[in-house]
A and B are shown apart, each in its own frame.
Chain A
Amino acid sequence: MRGIDSNETDFLPPDVAFRVAARIDGNVVKVRWVIADGYYLYRQKIEVRAESPDLVLSAPSLPPGTVKTDPYLGTQQVYFQQVEGLVPYSRIDAGAHPMQIKVTYQGCAEAGLCYPPITKVVFPTVGSPAVVTSVPPPRWESIAIIAGACAFLLAGLVLRKGRKLELPA
């Protein structure tokens, strides 16, 4: 129970369940979603639009998904684990402005809950591997441990400096 007890069926924040990134490869923007285990994205709910005014995007090309049949929503294609969409582009001002795209996607957890459509502005990177916009956090716990360890060593050095070796008479 939230607030007083933990429970067995937790769910991820949307930016953790579905991480999106984009990179420029030639005249194509590659938009990639990394999907957490037990979660999925609906193929037909994925949209990619130009956000910067000089940018013209073609319709995204998406691979076939896994067919999922629901008694109410019918047969739909969904993606598990990850998916990459290819979006051909052209630019009116030859790249004078940073490229920005707006991506919309919607997904659910197989545990039986769904997220409302998510819209994000993404800055595609050039040439390098896609960087997930929801940057995985640094391991601050590690920093805490290292800081503590360094302080401990420093303290040891301070103590050692004033200590003299006492030999038996």
Chain B
Amino acid sequence: MKTPGLRYLGAALIVLLGIWAGLKFRSVHRVPEPGVPVAAGLASAPDPNENVAIETASHPVIPARLPDFSLNDLSGKPTSIAAWTGKSLVINFWATWCAPCRREIPLLKALAADWAGRDLMVVGIAVDYPDKVRQFAGQLKIDYPVLIGEQDALDVAAKFGMDAPVFPFTVFTDRRGEVVALFVGELHRPQADFILSEVQNLNQERIQLPEARRAIAAGLAVMAGKNAG
């Protein structure tokens, strides 16, 4: 009995060792394959049940709350994002060389106008050279606050989990400064209205944050499906 028992044990150990070795190789060497999309994108938010930074397997950390930062405005004056504490924010990261970013500007202007006086601010963060941004902001008559930075603006993008950013991306916060959504790519009116309606629901305490985030994720997925179709 002893010998067969040992053999079974040895066999089991070998199988387990093989599986462990395979999984170890896989976890150490796993990198994205060409053509396989990274699970990131349209909208992001941290785990609604936690109020600390969350790290996903293949992505940088996205803050649960609006991080503190300061950048120069169009006139060169240092401006803290805390200047708009108590308001819901639509923080749009963009650059002048980025065509979809430019296409978004009229929508952002319209949102700023539509929500004026309703505790919501649109803030642009241009990751670009100040002269180019001033020239462009003048051409397009951007009338919402724009902050500008180069490496310092990239550092701010990294605070939102975008260490290697693509542009544009837009962060939505509620009036308590909680990050409700992070939308990557060109924002369109239906998506913006939908996210802002959930932000409003949150602000008026009709729903809780986890519920809002789930609703936004589901709604955007449906919209993306419609667009794909």
9-residue interface stretch from A54-62, A83-91, A92-100, A106-114? A106-114
Evaluate contact between A148 and B18: CB separation under 8 angstroms: yes
CA distance A109 to B100 in the complex (A): 10
Evaluate contact between B18 and A147: CB separation under 8 angstroms: yes
Chain A residue contacts of B54, Cβ below 8 A: 3
CA distance A52 to B42 in the complex (A): 41
Chain B residue contacts of A36, Cβ below 8 A: 34-35
Evaluate contact between B8 and A159: CB separation under 8 angstroms: yes
CA distance A161 to B19 in the complex (A): 22
Question: Using a Cβ cutoff of 8 Å, how many contacts connect chains A and B?
Answer: 198
Chain A residue contacts of B82, Cβ below 8 A: none
Evaluate contact between A113 and B186: CB separation under 8 angstroms: yes
Least CB distance, A104 to chain B, in whole angstroms: 13
Output the residue of A72, A73, A134 with the most chain B CB within 10 A.
A72
Q: Contacts A1-B216, A71-B103, A113-B184; is A11 near B22 (CB within 8 Å)?
A: no
Evaluate contact between B19 and A1: CB separation under 8 angstroms: no
CA distance A136 to B30 in the complex (A): 11
Interface residues of A in 1-43 (CB under 8 A from B): 1-14, 16, 19, 36-37
Evaluate contact between B14 and A154: CB separation under 8 angstroms: yes
Beta-carbon nearest neighbor of A155 in chain B: B11
**Chain A interface size, under 10 / 10 to 19 / 20 to 34 / 35 or more:** 35 or more
Q: Contacts A13-B32, A72-B103; is A155 near B26 (CB within 8 Å)?
A: no
State whether the Cβ of A126 lies closer than 8 Å to any Cβ in chain B: no
Q: Contacts A7-B217, A151-B15; is A113 near B38 (CB within 8 Å)?
A: no
CA distance A68 to B82 in the complex (A): 41
A3 interface neighbour in B11, B18, B45, B185, Cβ under 8 Å: B45
Using an 8 Å CB-CB cutoff, how does the interface string of A73-84 with B read, 1 for contact, 0 for none? 100000000000
Query: What are 8 contact pairs spanning A and B, CB under 8 A?
Result: A1-B213, A5-B218, A6-B39, A140-B26, A143-B25, A149-B18, A155-B11, A159-B8
